[in-house]
Amino acid sequence: MSEKFFIKNYCHIKNQTVSVNGKVIFNDVPITLGTEDFSTFIKNAYKFLKTDYSKFFKMDNLSKLAFLAAYLLLKSENLNEEENNIALVFSNKASSLDTDRKHEAAIENEAEYFPSPAVFVYTLPNICLGEISIKHRLYSENSFFIFDRFNAEHLQLYANSLLRSGKAQKTLCGWVDFDENSYDAFLYLVEKEGEIEHTTEEITRLYNTL
Amino acid sequence: MSELKEELKAKIIEQLNLEDVAVADIADDDALFGDGLGLDSIDALELIVMLDKDYGIRLSDPKEGRKIFESVQVMADYIQEHRTK
């Protein structure tokens, strides 16, 4: 019988709300009736969570979203200051399209051809994995997959494989999608012990919790 | 010159996304890299693009930036002398 793994904690960031294990911990109510833009929301969430990391403000939107979601789950993990073996298995639909568009806008006019290096470096979705790895000192496996939809089957198979083969002690998995002010982050931490079994049914159930 | 220095400080803060830093927080002679504002290599590239875009100064060798971006004072002196727009 194959070894079982468990979801220790999970979080969501969407609809101007941040939640951990299904419990809302931050809800940014817009001052006006209109929908608050992402940059204001994520900045307020960053400050609320007392995330002291000045490089955060240099990241693109996808990395800010992924970074904050990962921070929610990893900050209570008593991580080693030198090195940690927590694999990252992320996925989304829009890849880095939001930043790709910004880069495209900067280079489409030959007369005004001024590509921004700070934008260009984020024109890959897996850059956010690097940001998380730097912050939490993760010297571990990481992968970023692009799917048409949230794919619990793939996340479950890949994470279990990493844990079963001993390539990772824990795996941080999920969905981090950003495109044109539409955002959705759902991350969960898998390890050998816990109460929620790491099955596709449970992953799907938790993803749809909020 | 004083106006140019204030302009540069505002541009550095805005374009390099320096959160919680105000124009008044940057002294003319503060080091921009290292222990000063703590800018990194990507910031240096952004400053090179800014020189080109806003002042018509194209650096042929990125290593020149090391000296030019020492402080706002040094940057302003260089721009004053070499600007084409």
Show Cβ contacts of residue A108 under 8 Å, excluding neighbours closer than 6 positions.
Answer: none
Q: Is the pLDDT of residue A33 over 70?
A: no
- Element containing residue A118 per DSSP (H, E): helix A117-120
Given this model, what pLDDT does residue A191 score? 96
Going by the DSSP 8-state scheme, the letter that residue A125 receives in this structure is: T
Total tally of structural domains belonging to chain B: 1
Supply the range of the domain harboring residue A186: 6-207
Please answer whether residues B26 and B37 qualify as being in contact, where contact means their C-beta atoms are separated by less than 8 angstroms.
Answer: yes
Predicted confidence band of residue B1 (pLDDT cuts 50, 70, 90): confident
In a domain, A81, yes or no: yes
Predicted confidence band of residue A30 (pLDDT cuts 50, 70, 90): low
**Minimum-distance CB partner of A121 among B16, B19, B42:** B42
Task: Report the half-sphere exposure of A131 (CA within 13 A, side-chain side).
Answer: 26
**Minimum-distance CB partner of A118 among B18, B42, B53:** B42
Given this model, what pLDDT does residue B63 score? 81
Instruction: State the CATH number of the domain containing residue B43.
Output: 1.10.1200.10
In a domain, A96, yes or no: yes
Q: How far is B5 from chain A (nearest CA, A)?
A: 22
Helices A61-74 and A38-48 cross at an angle (nearest 10°) of 20
Predicted confidence band of residue B20 (pLDDT cuts 50, 70, 90): confident
Given this model, what pLDDT does residue A21 score? 96
In terms of pLDDT, which residue wins out, A4 or B36?
A4
Q: Is the pLDDT of residue A185 over 70?
A: yes
Please answer whether residues A87 and A54 qualify as being in contact, where contact means their C-beta atoms are separated by less than 8 angstroms.
Answer: no
Total tally of structural domains belonging to chain A: 1
Average of per-residue pLDDT across B54-78:
91
Which chain A residues are Cβ-neighbours of B38 within 8 angstroms? Answer: 54
Average of per-residue pLDDT across B36-54:
91
Q: If you compute the radius of gyration of chain B from its CA atoms, what whole number of angstroms results?
A: 12
In a domain, A126, yes or no: yes
Q: Which residue of B has its CA nearest to A118?
A: B42
Q: How far is B47 from chain A (nearest CA, A)?
A: 10
In a domain, A197, yes or no: yes
Name the 3-class secondary structure at A21: coil
Predicted confidence band of residue A1 (pLDDT cuts 50, 70, 90): low
Q: Is the pLDDT of residue A74 over 90?
A: yes
Q: Is the pLDDT of residue A48 over 90?
A: yes
In terms of pLDDT, which residue wins out, A163 or A112?
A163
Show Cβ contacts of residue A31 under 8 Å, excluding neighbours closer than 6 positions.
Answer: none
Dist. CA A58–CA B41, nearest whole Å = 13
In a domain, A188, yes or no: yes
Please answer whether residues B46 and B16 qualify as being in contact, where contact means their C-beta atoms are separated by less than 8 angstroms.
Answer: yes
In a domain, A1, yes or no: no
Burial A52-79 (b: 16+ CB within 10 A, else e): eeeebbbbbbbbbbbbbbbbbbbeebee
Supply the range of the domain harboring residue B33: 2-82
Predicted confidence band of residue A123 (pLDDT cuts 50, 70, 90): very high
Q: How far is B11 from chain A (nearest CA, A)?
A: 14
Give per-residue pLDDT as tens, A139-178. 999 999 999 999 999 999 999 999 999 999 999 999 999 9
Instruction: State the CATH number of the domain containing residue A97.
Output: 3.40.47.10
In a domain, A68, yes or no: yes
Given this model, what pLDDT does residue B6 score? 96
Given this model, what pLDDT does residue B64 score? 84
Which chain B residues are Cβ-neighbours of A116 within 8 angstroms? Answer: 46, 49
Given this model, what pLDDT does residue A111 score? 86
The ipTM assigned to this model is: 0.86
Kindly report each contact of residues B55-64 with a partner whose C-beta sits within 8 Å and lies 24 or more positions away, as own/partner.
B55/B79, B55/B82, B55/B83, B55/B84, B55/B85, B56/B83, B56/B84, B56/B85, B57/B82, B57/B83, B57/B84
How confident is the prediction for chain A on average, in pLDDT?
Answer: 94
Which chain A residues are Cβ-neighbours of B43 within 8 angstroms? Answer: 118
Predicted confidence band of residue A78 (pLDDT cuts 50, 70, 90): confident
